[in-house]
Chains A and B, each alone.
Chain A
Amino acid sequence: MANWHRFNGRRDAPRESGDGSPPNDPPPADRYKKTFEVRLPNVRLWAFVLTAAVVVLFLILPLALRPHRLVFPNGQSCSSAEARPEKYDIRDYAALTWNIGRMSSAHGAFGTDCNACHETPFVPVQSAQCLKCHEGIQQHADLRHVIPEKLARVDLAQQRCESCHREHKGMTIATRDSQSDCVACHGRLTDFIDIQGYVAEGRRPRFVKNRTDFGVDHDDFHPALVQDAAARLQVHYEPGDQDHGNVAFTHRVHFFGVAQGLKELRDKHPEQHCDLCHLPAPDGAGFRVVTYEQHCDNCHTLRFEPSKDWKLPHGHPEEIASRIAGYYADATLRGEDLFNRPAKDVLPKPGEPMPQAKPLDRLTAVDRTTAAILMCRIAPSTCGECHVEKPKSDQCELGSAWEMPPVFVPDRYFPEANFRHDKHATTGCTYCHVLEDQSDPDPNHHHRPETEIGLLLPKITVCRNCHSGQASPVQRVASTCITCHGFHDKTLSPVAPAAAASACPALREPSAMASDAK
């Protein structure tokens, strides 16, 4: 053995001790066994190190380093911007290790301040937290008509926002688009609503029906026709109803009738029939209001016949009367013999010449002529061409001025539907708004004839050409309830009670805003 060590070149003498080896080296066979053995790293040590790293980095740090408490107008303070950090630091990164997914863009402003919404650990986010900012959000249903036992399900103050709106699911806040929740109530709505009370309020019980799917049992559309133009009141169509917007306009006359001027315009712009009057509104959803000055004045000029240069102002009846009277008074004063005849009650005796009218008679004649022209010529023929109402009195007297009934052409005839024209522009206008020639009526057409209600509005079958309900989307756009309908009803009261409203003066109470709007 000593001999071997001499030639080993590394160790000249056997070791006594020191590294735990025995004074004499083990026999070569055992030494070789050690040389060729496989050593497993210290598994327990590595397990401990890795686990400790995970616990420190992902449990202790996120809990110990609370991220920045941001200042937001959710009941804490209104003076924002002072505590907003420019960059993430370690506290933010520690918080982000627990973030389950990207926040929506709007709530991204909360950054890593988890406590802005998650108030109490292990307790789901409460709606009260949401309502601190979203205080104006409205109820879904008019709670006065809900049967008391069902109130807990309908009253949004007793529901969680999160049951429909999911955060941490990407750039847009995920809203439930399944209609199962809608159908849970609307499938048996008659169990939820006190119909007697509903009807007693003078409302038509149309919406109190059990409905489950757009493609299956959705009613045909009931456009909201104008019932009272002065009050801007729209009421949903029932058979026999007519629109009372007080404009005697029909598309039929302008397309197939005697409207020669429009025909010339149409021939000039063969592809732009609708665009001649209906110009898209800036938001793209609807159209600009059609005005007399822009769209009717070309053909329906308010000319005053004695002179071609005289045009009467649209929309100002008193001004019209005064202008006509002024014209004749002026002519009379200038000595033009327009009214050189006596008043109606001064008749010549038989055999005598017609007595000359006195100046006073002449002025009376001006009044009377003005009244006659207003009442019997301009009003019925010129104004009455478009404005439907008749004058209150059929006497041609100036005192009984013709009262113009107010005109109301609403923006939307389907106010419950979130329809956007710009998103449907590819189909073209006439896909939905068809003006059939009366000579060729199609009994199965999908469109409501203009003669029925005075408007060119589609029936539900037009929509169903492309949209199905959620149930059977075969080569159709699967459309759930909220594809067209909003959930929070803007006409109803807010969910948040006034007490829960924010202390921030910048956020005003919805009721105050509503009264301002009026």
Chain B
Amino acid sequence: MRSAAPIAPSAIHRSFLGWKNGLYAKVGLGASALAAALYWMHQPDGPPNGGTLLGYTYGTVGAALIVWLAWFGIRRRRYGVPMGLDGLLSAHVYLGLSLVVVATLHTGFRFHWNVHTLSYVLMVAVIASGTFGAFAFWHYPPQMTANRAGASLEAMTAELAAFDSRCRELAPMFPDDIKGLVISAIDDAKLRRSGWTRIWRGADPCRVATLTALNRIREEVGRPKGSTAAEIVVVSQTLTRRLAVVEKLRRDRAYRARLLLWRAVHVPLTVALLAALAIHIVAVFFYR
């Protein structure tokens, strides 16, 4: 498993969508409209298909677009993109969307159970995942920033660790049941939840343990216990603030996941698409 560094999306966040007044949005829309108009005007012999002159044109343009769009995955890692990464990404997104129109017209709306339709389905899946990625980069960064409220990830985890050690210092002073509840609430095993248990198991164990501990502590607060009266209030406050930080970190993680994980679909499917596209072209010309 290769862990990716957290994305700091401020560099390209949103700017790519409106790059140069949406230049590539206009180019993509114009190309799609032109393709659709040609399809509408063209009257081939027999049903429309990828084998007519216009069909070959769509296919050539579409294949070239796919290769160029896939090339972005390599190009974006290099320095010195002439138009800047924003411009390149803008073109990648909008021309990728117009590829749906060109490729669909290339099919002539003829779909069968074969490698040709497989290429089309893979292409649609790649574009759909990419569309989600573009949406995520446009939609989530502001929410992510608001959630962090200026704190960095390191600051938040350091804060969480500080709360833990504070609780761990104070816990031995309390009766065993409270001590156990506090230690249970700060158990970091309760934070490691896979995506599946998050859906399947329902309630958050960290939150449940913390609230259980707080309820027990609240009973103790009113009682005159002398020596630990001040500490029990501190532990209560610490646990409450700890839970808030945990939930903030959880939300932050969810945002980062949405900004990152679509690529786990986008990239492998792109490579598979390139293979299927090559086979599509070979198959079509093998049996001419």
The residues of A with any CB-CB pair to B shorter than 8 Å are 3-4, 7-10, 27-33, 35-43, 46-51, 53-55, 58-59, 62, 96-102, 114, 118, 121-125, 166, 169-170, 174, 176-178
In the complex, how many angstroms separate the beta carbon of A172 from the nearest chain B beta carbon?
A: 10
Could you tell me if B261 and A40 are in contact, using CB atoms closer than 8 angstroms? yes
Name which of B45, B110, B164, B267 has the most chain A CB atoms within 10 A of its CB: B45
The residues of B with any CB-CB pair to A shorter than 8 Å are 1-4, 6, 43, 45-47, 49-51, 110, 112-116, 118, 153-154, 157-158, 160-161, 164-165, 168, 171, 183-184, 187-189, 191-192, 249-250, 252-253, 256-257, 260-261, 263-264, 267-272, 274-276, 279, 282-288
Complex Cα spacing A58 to B283, Å: 9
Minimal Cβ-Cβ distance residue in A for B44: A178
Complex Cα spacing A235 to B45, Å: 35
Could you tell me if B157 and A43 are in contact, using CB atoms closer than 8 angstroms? no
Chain A residues contacting B269 (CB-CB under 8 Å) are 50
Q: A4-B168, A54-B276, A96-B114 are in contact. Are A38 and B189 (CB under 8 A)?
A: no
Chain B residues contacting A58 (CB-CB under 8 Å) are 115, 118, 276, 279
Query: Which single member of B3, B115, B288 contacts A37 (CB below 8 Å)?
Result: B3
Complex Cα spacing A36 to B248, Å: 11
Chain B residues contacting A122 (CB-CB under 8 Å) are 285-286, 288
Could you tell me if B45 and A101 are in contact, using CB atoms closer than 8 angstroms? no
Could you tell me if A32 and B286 are in contact, using CB atoms closer than 8 angstroms? no
Complex Cα spacing A124 to B188, Å: 68
Could you tell me if A176 and B45 are in contact, using CB atoms closer than 8 angstroms? yes
**What 10 pairs between A and B have smallest CB-CB spacing?**
A174-B46, A28-B161, A50-B272, A46-B268, A32-B157, A47-B268, A47-B271, A7-B183, A58-B115, A98-B283
Chain B residues contacting A32 (CB-CB under 8 Å) are 157, 160-161, 188, 191, 249
Could you tell me if B47 and A40 are in contact, using CB atoms closer than 8 angstroms? no
Chain A residues contacting B168 (CB-CB under 8 Å) are 3-4, 7
Complex Cα spacing A30 to B282, Å: 52
Can you report 10 residue pairs joining A to B where beta carbons are below 8 Å apart? A10-B189, A38-B260, A40-B261, A48-B271, A51-B274, A100-B116, A100-B284, A101-B49, A121-B286, A122-B286
Could you tell me if A98 and B3 are in contact, using CB atoms closer than 8 angstroms? no
Could you tell me if B256 and A41 are in contact, using CB atoms closer than 8 angstroms? no
In the complex, how many angstroms separate the beta carbon of A159 from the nearest chain B beta carbon?
A: 15
Could you tell me if B157 and A29 are in contact, using CB atoms closer than 8 angstroms? yes
Complex Cα spacing A177 to B44, Å: 9
Complex Cα spacing A176 to B47, Å: 11
Given contacts A33-B154, A176-B45, 10 further A-B contacts (CB under 8 A): A9-B187, A28-B161, A32-B188, A38-B3, A40-B1, A40-B3, A43-B264, A54-B118, A98-B283, A174-B46
In the complex, how many angstroms separate the beta carbon of B6 from the nearest chain A beta carbon?
A: 7
Could you tell me if A29 and B114 are in contact, using CB atoms closer than 8 angstroms? no
Chain B residues contacting A40 (CB-CB under 8 Å) are 1-4, 260-261, 263-264
Could you tell me if A35 and B191 are in contact, using CB atoms closer than 8 angstroms? yes
Chain B residues contacting A123 (CB-CB under 8 Å) are 288
Complex Cα spacing A380 to B112, Å: 74
Name which of B112, B269, B272, B274 has the most chain A CB atoms within 10 A of its CB: B272
Q: A8-B187, A174-B46 are in contact. Are A114 and B157 (CB under 8 A)?
A: no
Q: A9-B187, A35-B188, A54-B276 are in contact. Are A99 and B114 (CB under 8 A)?
A: yes
Query: Which single member of A50, A98, A169 contacts B286 (CB below 8 Å)?
Result: A98
Chain B residues contacting A55 (CB-CB under 8 Å) are 275, 279
In the complex, how many angstroms separate the beta carbon of B59 from the nearest chain A beta carbon?
A: 12
Q: A37-B3, A125-B288, A177-B45 are in contact. Are A8 and B114 (CB under 8 A)?
A: no
Chain A residues contacting B114 (CB-CB under 8 Å) are 96-100
Complex Cα spacing A40 to B5, Å: 10
Could you tell me if B47 and A170 are in contact, using CB atoms closer than 8 angstroms? yes
Chain A residues contacting B43 (CB-CB under 8 Å) are 178
Name which of A41, A50, A55, A100 has the most chain B CB atoms within 10 A of its CB: A100
Could you tell me if A39 and B1 are in contact, using CB atoms closer than 8 angstroms? yes
Chain B residues contacting A33 (CB-CB under 8 Å) are 153-154, 157
Chain A residues contacting B253 (CB-CB under 8 Å) are 36-38
Query: Which single member of A31, A36, A176 contacts B249 (CB below 8 Å)?
Result: A36
Complex Cα spacing A37 to B272, Å: 28
Complex Cα spacing A431 to B188, Å: 93
Minimal Cβ-Cβ distance residue in A for B283: A98
Chain A residues contacting B268 (CB-CB under 8 Å) are 43, 46-47, 49-51
Chain B residues contacting A47 (CB-CB under 8 Å) are 267-268, 270-272
Name which of B47, B188, B282, B287 has the most chain A CB atoms within 10 A of its CB: B287
Chain A residues contacting B118 (CB-CB under 8 Å) are 54, 58, 97
Name which of A8, A37, A38, A178 has the most chain B CB atoms within 10 A of its CB: A38
Could you tell me if A29 and B46 are in contact, using CB atoms closer than 8 angstroms? no
Chain B residues contacting A96 (CB-CB under 8 Å) are 113-114
Could you tell me if A178 and B272 are in contact, using CB atoms closer than 8 angstroms? no
In the complex, how many angstroms separate the beta carbon of A224 from the nearest chain B beta carbon?
A: 31
Could you tell me if A39 and B3 are in contact, using CB atoms closer than 8 angstroms? yes
In the complex, how many angstroms separate the beta carbon of B198 from the nearest chain A beta carbon?
A: 13
In the complex, how many angstroms separate the beta carbon of B239 from the nearest chain A beta carbon?
A: 15
Complex Cα spacing A55 to B275, Å: 7
Complex Cα spacing A169 to B49, Å: 9
Chain B residues contacting A98 (CB-CB under 8 Å) are 114-115, 283, 286-287
Chain B residues contacting A31 (CB-CB under 8 Å) are 161, 188
Could you tell me if B183 and A38 are in contact, using CB atoms closer than 8 angstroms? no
Minimal Cβ-Cβ distance residue in A for B277: A54
Could you tell me if A29 and B154 are in contact, using CB atoms closer than 8 angstroms? yes
Minimal Cβ-Cβ distance residue in A for B5: A37
Complex Cα spacing A33 to B192, Å: 11
Q: A50-B272, A98-B286, A101-B112 are in contact. Are A37 and B46 (CB under 8 A)?
A: no
Name which of B43, B164, B267, B271 has the most chain A CB atoms within 10 A of its CB: B271
Chain A residues contacting B158 (CB-CB under 8 Å) are 29
In the complex, how many angstroms separate the beta carbon of A259 from the nearest chain B beta carbon?
A: 52
Could you tell me if B2 and A42 are in contact, using CB atoms closer than 8 angstroms? yes
Query: Which single member of B6, B113, B282, B286 contacts A38 (CB below 8 Å)?
Result: B6
In the complex, how many angstroms separate the beta carbon of A227 from the nearest chain B beta carbon?
A: 39
Minimal Cβ-Cβ distance residue in B for A46: B268
Complex Cα spacing A38 to B188, Å: 17
Complex Cα spacing A48 to B270, Å: 11
Q: A38-B256, A42-B2 are in contact. Are A54 and B264 (CB under 8 A)?
A: no
Minimal Cβ-Cβ distance residue in B for A98: B283
Name which of A9, A51, A96 has the most chain B CB atoms within 10 A of its CB: A51
Could you tell me if B288 and A43 are in contact, using CB atoms closer than 8 angstroms? no
Minimal Cβ-Cβ distance residue in A for B250: A36
Could you tell me if A124 and B272 are in contact, using CB atoms closer than 8 angstroms? no
Complex Cα spacing A329 to B187, Å: 138
Minimal Cβ-Cβ distance residue in A for B164: A28
In the complex, how many angstroms separate the beta carbon of B126 from the nearest chain A beta carbon?
A: 11
Could you tell me if B288 and A118 are in contact, using CB atoms closer than 8 angstroms? yes
Chain A residues contacting B270 (CB-CB under 8 Å) are 47
In the complex, how many angstroms separate the beta carbon of B123 from the nearest chain A beta carbon?
A: 13
Minimal Cβ-Cβ distance residue in B for A124: B288
Chain B residues contacting A101 (CB-CB under 8 Å) are 49, 110, 112
